[in-house]
């Protein structure tokens, strides 16, 4: 059954191949079929999906953009998750490494319908870095990005003021004439 919900999942790759559009060299993607094994339910806890009907999804990990340049984030994800060597021959006609990966699956509106797609690929044991910045890092970042962020915030405030409805004081309704008649 095709996966029908967004979330973070652990999966194994069952097959992969190269995906290109007809009569085009670019963009080029590594299309990977995934079998879902677990779903993240929060607090670092994973729900085992072995008891459910098999769920699968195909992820398209673009390694070449439509302009013919390398999509570095797509390459980085395949290297980190599968140890890919960057050789197209290592994908074509072979089975993917038997390894657990983690998929971030998001909803997307396509042709008027909501569908789910693999938005990001990580190694199976990936844990997001939840550290906050320390005081020294905040000062460094503020020095580097302060003017850009202040300008963006100012622009956002200006847009919000323009979009806000104009509020006026309530006025007394005009008299209806002689109420005693």
Q: pLDDT tens for residues 109-167?
A: 989 999 999 999 999 999 866 566 778 877 888 888 888 888 888 877 766 565 555 54
Residues 119 and 135 occupy one common structural domain: no
Q: What is the pTM of this model?
A: 0.70
Instruction: Tell me: do 138 and 78 sit in the same domain.
Output: no
Clarify whether residues 110 and 153 are in a common domain.
no
CA 13 vs CA 8, 62, 105, 150, 162: distances in Å: 15, 16, 15, 44, 50
**88/36 same-domain check:** yes
The share of the chain scoring above pLDDT 70, in percent, equals 84
d(CA 141, CA 143): 5
Residue numbers of the domain that contains 26:
7-123
Q: Please state, in angstroms and rounded to a whole number, the distance separating the CA atoms of residues 32 and 97.
A: 11
């Amino acid at each position: 059954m095709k996966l029908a919900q967004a979330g973070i999942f652990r999966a194994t790759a069952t097959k992969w191949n190269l995906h290109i559009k007809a009569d085009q060299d670019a963009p080029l993607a590594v299309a990977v079929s995934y079998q879902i094994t677990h779903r993240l339910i929060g607090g670092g806890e994973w729900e085992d999906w072995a008891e459910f009907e098999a769920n699968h999804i195909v992820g398209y990990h673009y390694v070449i953009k439509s302009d013919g340049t390398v999509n570095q984030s797509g390459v980085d994800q395949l290297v980190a998750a599968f140890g890919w060597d960057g050789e197209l021959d290592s994908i074509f006609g072979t089975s993917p490494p038997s390894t657990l990966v983690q998929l971030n699956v998001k909803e997307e509106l396509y042709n008027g319908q909501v569908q789910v797609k693999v938005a990001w690929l990580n190694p199976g044991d990936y844990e997001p870095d939840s550290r906050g910045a320390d005081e020294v890092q905040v000062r460094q970042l503020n020095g580097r990005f302060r003017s850009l962020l202040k300008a963006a915030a100012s622009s956002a405030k200006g847009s919000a003021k323009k979009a806000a409805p104009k509020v006026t004081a309530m006025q007394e309704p005009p008299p209806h004439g002689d109420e005693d008649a």
